[in-house]
Amino acid sequence: MATVRKTIIVTEQQDGYIKAQVAAGDYTNDSEYVRALIRRDQEDKINTLRAALLEGAQSGEARRVDPAEFKRRMAERAA
């Protein structure tokens, strides 16, 4: 897989935390740590989507919705 060089800016506290993770042996370098965070975020989003799809599939039979009524209810909630 091709790689792309990125430059990011972190606070001193964040830099210290990253360095501690690397020093603890959890990661071999800063880049590996950042890539792991990105992968975790991607997995979280996929798992959230899967859960929502499963919830929808288990929610029962589909029913017709009146678009105008739906918009009205959403406007009431937003108010």
pLDDT digits (tens, 9 = 90+) for 37-75: 999 999 999 999 999 999 999 999 988 999 999 999 999
46-55 CB contacts, 8 Å cutoff, 24+ apart:
none
pLDDT of residue 62: 87
Write out pLDDT tens, residues 9-28. 999 999 999 999 999 999 99
User: Whole-angstrom Cα distance, residue 79 to residue 18?
Assistant: 43
pLDDT in tens, 26-35: 999 999 999 9
User: Which residue type does 65 have?
Assistant: V
pLDDT tops 90 at residue 6? yes
Which pLDDT belongs to residue 46? 97
Structural domain boundaries in the chain: 9-57
